[in-house]
Amino acid sequence: ATPTSIMVGTGRGAELGVLFRKGEALQLLKDAAVVAVDKTGTLTEGRPALTDLALAEGFARDEVLRLVAAVEARSEHPIARAIVAAAEDAGIAVPEPDGFQSVTGMGVQAVVDGHRVEVGADRYMRALGLDVAGFADVAARLGGEGKSPLYAAVDGHLAAIIAVADPVKPDTPAAIAALHALGLKVAMVTGDNARTAQAIADRLGIDEVVAEVLPEGKVDAMRRLKAAHGRLAFVGDGINDAPALAEADVGLAIGTGTDVAMEAADVVLMSGSLQGVPNAIALSKATIGNIR
């Protein structure tokens, strides 16, 4: 491509709200074979709400919600806001926790009113030596509905299964259809539960799912997707997406996401919409494809 065509394409991108931080990205995008997309905050709103809470025998709803919300009040994760909001909506006074700790990719823990409380994924409960099999049917149903199941433990006993649901952004389905129309494969990459991720992917017609990845696992997922499909674009919004944005051939950050993601990206989608991805690829094809 000539410097002129890159300037023209970059300028046209700016008009479309697609900010090319590197001219190379405009050249590379036209031959992208696969677009990998972070789930939470990129495909979905990133604002989950609590939808379900089922108790183990001997536990009461308000007490479990009180203990769990106390721990989550210290967490930055979107899941945490959903749980704290549910407690507040129920008029529950949330106490101050002691010794809060976040366990990456697993969940959170603290001591609340002298009770040891853990909240997180099924693998977190298993790591704590707790058996979640009693909730297997409920978890399968929730996951099938595209909800994310979490578990709460109190003083070493499994107390509840909690589900949160995060709505898909209204413009996500059209953006995926546009990527397919351009001949690309679309993959979802997420730390969330495999069944939940698959249910959402099925709804959206997403071709491939990489679920239950730890933050550092996103980089490995990028390498695998590149090896399997060819040139890879990755779209994300979070702090923990930065390594994957750097590892992809082209990293695109959602402009409404974190500064860390935007700094790691080659392209920033100012509109905050996933539709910016097919727009950027189409622009690359139009400007670079025609001018040699």
The span of 14-22, 76-84, 131-139, 271-279 binding ligand ADP (CB under 6 A) equals 76-84
| CA–CA separation, 184 and 186 (whole Å) | 6
# residues near ligand ADP by CB under 6 A: 19
| CA–CA separation, 187 and 37 (whole Å) | 6
Residue 106's binding partner among Mg ion, ligand ADP, none (Cβ under 5 to 8 angstroms by kind) is ligand ADP
Tell me: does residue 108 bind ligand ADP (CB under 6 A).
yes
Tell me: does residue 243 bind Mg ion (CB under 5 A).
no
Catalytic site residue from 31, 38, 62, 259: 38
Residue 258 CB partners (closer than 8 Å, separation 6+): 237, 238, 239
Residue with smallest beta-carbon separation from ligand ADP: 191
List 122, 166, 192, 237, residue binding Mg ion (CB under 5 A): 237
Closest to ligand ADP by CB, 18 or 160 = 160
Residue 140 CB partners (closer than 8 Å, separation 6+): 195
Largest pairwise CA distance in the chain? 72
| CA–CA separation, 183 and 123 (whole Å) | 36
Residue 272's binding partner among ligand ADP, Mg ion, none (Cβ under 5 to 8 angstroms by kind) is none
Tell me: does residue 258 bind ligand ADP (CB under 6 A).
no
Tell me: does residue 118 bind ligand ADP (CB under 6 A).
no
Tell me: does residue 79 bind ligand ADP (CB under 6 A).
yes
Amino acid identity at 157:
H
The CB-of-56 to ligand ADP minimum distance in angstroms stands at 17
Tell me: does residue 40 bind Mg ion (CB under 5 A).
yes
List the beta bridge partners of residue 255. Answer: none
Q: Find the helix or strand (DSSP H, E) in which 164 lies.
A: strand 157-165
Residue 107 CB partners (closer than 8 Å, separation 6+): 118, 119, 120, 121, 124, 150
Catalytic residue flag (residue 38): yes
> What residues are annotated to the active site?
38
Task: Give residues in contact with ligand ADP (CB under 6 A).
Answer: 40, 72, 75, 77, 79-80, 105-108, 119-121, 148, 150, 190-192, 215
